Structure 1
Amino acid sequence: MANLASTEFLSDVEPPLVVFDPSKVHWDDTADVVIVGFGGAGAAAAIQARELGADVIALDRFNGGGATAYSGGVTYAGATRYQKEAGYEDSADNMYRYLSQEGAPVSPETLRRFCEGSNGDLEWLEAQGVPFNGKAYPEKTTYPPEGFFLYFSGNEKVPSYKKNAAPAPRGHRAVGPGFTGAVHFHALRNAALSKGTRLIPHSPVRRLVTAQDGTVIGVEISQVPESARPQHDALYSGVTPMKPFAGAKQEEAIKRCAIFEREHSERKLVSARGGVILSAGGFVFNLEMVRKHRPVYAKVFRSIMRLGSMGCDGSGIDLGRSAGGATALMDNFYIGRSIAPPVGFVRGVMVDQDGNRFLNEDAYNGFLGKAIGDLPGDGKAWLILDRKAFFASLKQCLFPGKGMYLYTLPSLLNILFGGTRFAFRLNGLAKRCKLQPLSLQRSIQANNQAAASGVDPFGKSPDNIRALTQGPYFAINMDLSNKFTISMLFSLGGLTVNEQTGNVTRPDGTAIRGLYAAGRSAVGLCSTAYMSGMSIADTVFSGRRAAQDAARQKSPVKDKAIA
């Protein structure tokens, strides 16, 4: 056996162990398919591989769940019976025409295959026990309120998109109270285990095991003993993604957990006859990796909510790189900036640090966040409202209606504590916000002209264009560094894969035998343009794809007897 030369890793990953004769290696365990990371993608892969008759071991750094268990539990799908129940007509072709406008890092053929299979994937999820419902919420929202489980989760209703694809709600939220990612995951977990998947928890994978020709034949884990697992779980709970203002404490928990794992672990080897599937999430909780690819997000990490689990540390991506895998779109992130509800905010004008309008305010929240994050000056922006729009927004925040307080509270906190400015004239507002007065005047004048004509150059829906003419004028602070904006972040880039099989590919496009990637460890359907529900939909699409190919590859490995 030999170790490959070291490369640059920003996670706790080592170069592969090269095995000259697999039959002379003591394997502590073996399976047809070995899955690294038991979240949404890993669980989907495990179920699919078991349905094809493969023996499956799923490894997880903690106890499973990953980012999926913390998520909203939304699956993006078209031509479903739930849409029909709600009175909406949709088709795979209509869905394809919409998603084609959003842009995807996959081929048109792969995107069409996803659209044509999305209803089947949803029904497959339902067969595993994930509950869905057709109660639709028709208004613009980041997430449907309690009692609603189908909604417009992207830009479907934006006029420029409506020209080429009829709007249809495709965000299918798993049924349950609050964020229902845990409902989605636990249904898959139970299905995977009941079908015979062997879950080995508290076992971070430190390196791959390869044959001399580079084929991946197994992994080496660093297993935490059972007696130390309660402490390990307690450290894991130190990262709760939906808790605002917790960035510094999360970093401390991450450091303590890394030290704990180094002091309390035992190395073991697990072989894979068919393949290893990397489904260990993205890297939003690896601050050094974020800093390398998007420095501005690392700079403001204390002011944003990073979505994921402590396991989203980039180790899955680094494991793939260690075997020669290429990465792409590593500087792409979902950064969500929700301004609706209240609806009145959508009718304002968003301007940059100079006072120039730069986006369509009723676009999907991920587009808003990305546009702000791409601005010079580390993402500085203001939302301009006149008296009527401001007080209408404030009223909606204070009296949002049943089940909506969770969604209006962030905007209310931002109004009260985020540094809101006001002045009776635009020139005075520009001075208080350090904007260029002429630029701000032009931005508001252009908006008022769009309100009169009903045509907005940025593509805002006519229903949401309002003239801003009544002083005093207000500016809501939308800076990335403003902790009261409650920005949400996770990574989208990852390992490149063969779109037919899910195999990790090298920079020259050739596939690495025995190695697959799925979910946020890989470049996927939503790695260039994200909208709610696409990440979970991609975990199912990519997880099942990788499992189908890996299960077919289960050539026998002559393992030494397992003690």
Structure 2
Amino acid sequence: MKQINPQNITWDATADLVVVGFGGAGAATAITAVEAGASVIMLDKAPEGQEGGNTRVAAQGYLNTSTPEGAATYLNALCGPYTVPQDMVKVWSEEMCKNNEWLTSIGGDPQEHQHKVGIEFPDLPGADSVHKFHHGDILGYSKTWEMLAEAVRARPIEVRYECPATRLIQDPLTQEVIGVVANHKGKSINIKARKGVVLTCGGFENNQEMIRNYLTGVPYCYTSGSPFNEGDGVRMAMELGADLWHMNNFAGPSMALKVPDYPTTFSMMALHFSHEPAGGMVVVGPDGKRFTDEKYKTRHGKVEHHGKWYALRTPCPMYMVFDQAMMNDGPIYDGKPTHGWTQIMSGYTWSKDNKAELGKGWIKTAPTLEALAKLLDLPEGSLDQTATRWNASVAAGTDADFGRTKMFQPFGAGPFYAVELSPSMLNTQGGPRRNARAEIVRPDGTPIPRLYSAGELGSIFSYLYQGTGNIGECFAFGRIAARSAVAQKAWS
């Protein structure tokens, strides 16, 4: 990296803290910092109106644990053999108990999810400490995010949209991070950070090169979350010698439709939602055979095998194959704006009879299964054999192959249809390693001075993941990062 003399830099703007990324972690960091008396400039890659990262399009829950001891026990159990340092477990478990108190202090209204829904691993020790909350009297999409965004706007926090950070500025003598280079509408600008820079810009779920390099089991994977999360924080931290951790962990895969027209994936109702359409449906891999329970319920991409949890297999290409009865039964896509970038931000209206998508080529069709196999370049006779075996399972009343119990109906008459499915995920968990002070560290454990992180960029979750944990972690480590950075003496 080019060495820069800080005395020769022309600064275009100055603040105590520069926060890179306006999502849940960025909001928590900025709010905590200004309430401690610091000035903050927040940079976001997205245009105004599309900020918020994955926090905006998640299901809006956040974790608040009941005891530090229980939270630590549960996190250690989630990690299993993929352990994290116990000082990190300790500070995480202590801060996660304070999320409701903090949210209330900034104008939030914490409400617990009813019936403890979604405690993903209730059999693990410490699970009784897990409590999922949201802001307000309903669990509505983006409601928690809207409260956070309003809390930011109500405070003296400067937000610059369409202004991604491209490089960190480091003093070559002290190794301190003293600012960032950002790009605003094609112009490079230098922003001074008198006390520190906090990276809160999410993961690399929309960077196919990083996905190929770091994620196992998927040749490619597309996000259902923010398309602006392209691994910028990973790259910038690595340029300064940061260590990485948890790079192979991600909230996925699921199976979804990805088309060039839209940057994020479409969840297929027949796979993920409660509606039970008529007709036969299976998902096949490149050999034309089934490979899983199509109505699976993963735990953020993990499925159980022989008492252990592993990532869902996704042999590509994959196809959801179905008959005319299912085609006639209504839209195969669930567009309710409850989660996901496509549903909440893009707002695509799927046709009621699926014919518009058939016309776009998103759905393929052929008069027979043999012809459909040829169209999809699947082995000759494979779809006929798979459908025959499926119909025999339905007649016998049990799926001996994968134990599927939902949408347990036979294939009927053609024509037949197929949708190509891709591996999909909401977010990655990996990134630069942080310590208990939210400082980004080198491989030897020493911190890179004045550089911090919070949120999904270098998350504490090393393998198994508890839903709402990421937003809870955004709040917790956003507060820690802000406190650590504000405590620094300004370098100028």
Gaps of 5+ in 2: 256-266, 304-308
In structure 2, the partner of 1:541 is: 476
Q: Is the 8 A contact 2:435 2:441 kept in 1?
A: no
Q: Is the 8 A contact 1:444 1:468 kept in 2?
A: no
User: Residue 177 of structure 2: SS of its match in structure 1?
Assistant: strand
Q: 1:266 to 1:421 in 2, by over 3 A?
A: closer
How far apart are 1:431 and its partner, in Å?
Answer: 9.8
The equivalences for 1:196-207 within 5 A come to 196-207=156-167
How far apart are 1:499 and its partner, in Å?
Answer: 3.3
Distance 1:108 1:513 in 2: 20
Q: Is the 8 A contact 1:155 1:364 kept in 2?
A: no
Q: Is the 8 A contact 2:61 2:144 kept in 1?
A: no
Distance 1:203 1:285 in 2: 18
User: Per-residue CA shift, 1:335-370, capped at 9, x if unaligned?
Assistant: 44452323548x987554442433584323742799
In structure 2, the partner of 1:235 is: none
How far apart are 1:306 and its partner, in Å?
Answer: 4.6
Distance 1:68 1:60 in 2: 13
Say whether residues 1:308 and 2:285 are aligned partners: no
User: Residue 301 of structure 2: SS of its match in structure 1?
Assistant: helix
Q: 1:427 to 1:195 in 2, by over 3 A?
A: closer
How far apart are 1:135 and its partner, in Å?
Answer: 6.4
Say whether residues 1:324 and 2:241 are aligned partners: yes
Distance 2:70 2:330 in 1: 38
User: Residue 226 of structure 2: SS of its match in structure 1?
Assistant: coil
Q: 1:509 to 1:216 in 2, by over 3 A?
A: same
Distance 2:477 2:56 in 1: 20
User: Residue 74 of structure 1: SS of its match in structure 2?
Assistant: coil
More displaced, 501-510 or 172-181?
Answer: 172-181
Distance 1:199 1:205 in 2: 13
Q: Is the 8 A contact 2:283 2:318 kept in 1?
A: no
TM-score, normalised by the number of residues in structure 2: 0.68
How far apart are 1:44 and its partner, in Å?
Answer: 0.6
In structure 2, the partner of 1:40 is: 24
How far apart are 1:524 and its partner, in Å?
Answer: 0.4
Distance 2:61 2:483 in 1: 21
In structure 2, the partner of 1:340 is: 272
| Structure with a larger share of its residues in helix | 1
The equivalences for 1:251-330 within 5 A come to 261-262=185-186, 265=187, 267-273=189-195, 275-286=196-207, 289-290=210-211, 306-310=224-228, 312-330=229-247
User: Residue 421 of structure 2: SS of its match in structure 1?
Assistant: coil
Gaps of 5+ in 1: 6-16, 81-89, 139-150, 225-260, 482-486
Q: From 298, 314, 318, give the equivalent of 1:380.
A: 318
- How many residues align? The count is 448
Distance 1:211 1:514 in 2: 11
In structure 2, the partner of 1:147 is: none
Distance 1:396 1:168 in 2: 41
Distance 1:102 1:439 in 2: 38
The equivalences for 1:504-519 within 5 A come to 504-519=440-455
Q: Residue type matched to 2:297 in 1?
A: A
The equivalences for 1:457-536 within 5 A come to 465=405, 468=408, 472=412, 477=418, 479-480=420-421, 488-520=424-456, 522-526=457-461, 528-530=463-465, 532-536=467-471
Q: From 296, 303, 315, give the equivalent of 1:362.
A: 296
User: Residue 474 of structure 2: SS of its match in structure 1?
Assistant: helix
Q: Is the 8 A contact 1:427 1:437 kept in 2?
A: yes
Distance 1:95 1:447 in 2: 45
The equivalences for 1:149-228 within 5 A come to 152-153=117-118, 155-156=120-121, 162=123, 170-175=131-136, 180-181=141-142, 183-192=143-152, 194-213=154-173, 215-222=175-182, 224=184
How far apart are 1:207 and its partner, in Å?
Answer: 2.4
Q: 1:322 to 1:410 in 2, by over 3 A?
A: same
Q: Is the 8 A contact 2:281 2:411 kept in 1?
A: no
How far apart are 1:46 and its partner, in Å?
Answer: 1.5
User: Residue 16 of structure 2: SS of its match in structure 1?
Assistant: strand
Distance 1:96 1:384 in 2: 45
Q: 1:449 to 1:532 in 2, by over 3 A?
A: farther
How far apart are 1:166 and its partner, in Å?
Answer: 6.6
Distance 2:207 2:218 in 1: 12
> Could you tell me the percent identity over the aligned residues?
21
Q: Is the 8 A contact 2:120 2:467 kept in 1?
A: no
Q: Is the 8 A contact 1:504 1:515 kept in 2?
A: yes
TM-score, normalised by the number of residues in structure 1: 0.61
Distance 2:13 2:111 in 1: 41
Q: Residue type matched to 2:44 in 1?
A: D
Q: From 61, 66, 77, give the equivalent of 2:52.
A: 66
Q: Is the 8 A contact 1:46 1:547 kept in 2?
A: yes
